[in-house]
Amino acid sequence: MHPKHRQEDNYPGPQSEGQKDLIRRDFTAPVPTVKLCGDITCLRTGEGWLYLATVIDLATRMVVSWSMSERMTADIVVAALGNAKGRGYVAKNAVFHSDRGSQYTSRMLLDWAEENNVRLSCSRTGNCHDNAVAESFFATLKNEMYYRRSFKTRADARRAVFNYIEVFCNRRRPHSTMGYQVPGELMDTFFARAAPGWGKLPIAA
């Protein structure tokens, strides 16, 4: 087994019980890339379950990254966050908010956050309203796409999720919270305005 995927990496890290709620239901951000949230949901297919982890930017409501796996382990969360950072969507000292699921309090995620200068924030136990944006996104995805069809294979579900997130949700669907603007367009505008003096990502307060 690869050292980055040891079973013990999915167990709570030594600092996990001290993780606080850093956003306190304030699902706004002054600019993109400084405050994000995420969660995991499961999708049934004819081949078994498929798990989807998301990273959502709270300034634009764009799903800036996502990852899917047959296993609901910590590496799916780290993969999604790593991809978001690699694409330039996670600022230095950014906050990433989630629930207290084992994947989000795992040693693997705690180590990744420390190495990448990301502050982890956790909801209170059993309170879905503390992570309302991530919960709302999954409810919308299931109502608008998942519940309307069945998936024979995991590959079918992966394609459907890709099309829903990347083609429709990020690039076509106006978001009511954002004044009915399209999330991807808001993000593009931010980067276009920053481009002339762009040397590095913003540093979150």
- Note the pLDDT tens digit of each residue in 174-201: 998 888 999 999 999 999 887 765 444 5
Q: Is the pLDDT at 60 greater than 70, yes or no? A: yes
**Which H or E run includes 35?**
strand 35-37
Q: What percent of the chain has pLDDT over 90?
A: 77
Residue 203 falls inside a structural domain:
no
Distance CA 169, CA 63 (A): 8
Residue 94's nearest CA partner among 140, 31, 17 is 31
Residue 33 falls inside a structural domain:
yes
**Cβ neighbourhood burial of 26 (10 Å; 0-12, 13-18, 19+):** exposed
Residue 79 falls inside a structural domain:
yes
Residue 91 falls inside a structural domain:
yes
pLDDT for 187: 96
Residue 6 falls inside a structural domain:
no
User: What CATH number should be reported for the domain holding residue 176?
Assistant: 3.30.420.10
Q: What is the mean pLDDT of residues 37-54?
A: 97
Residue 197 falls inside a structural domain:
no
pLDDT range class, residue 39, cuts 50, 70, 90 = very high
For residue 108, the enclosing domain spans 19-191
How many domains does the chain fold into?
1
pLDDT range class, residue 1, cuts 50, 70, 90 = very low
With b for 16 or more beta-carbon neighbours within 10 A and e for fewer, the 124-154 pattern comes to eeeeeebbebbbebbeebeeebbeeeebeeb
**105-119 pLDDT, tens digit each:** 999 999 999 999 999
What is this structure's pTM? 0.87
Residue 154's nearest CA partner among 72, 50, 42 is 50
pLDDT for 163: 97
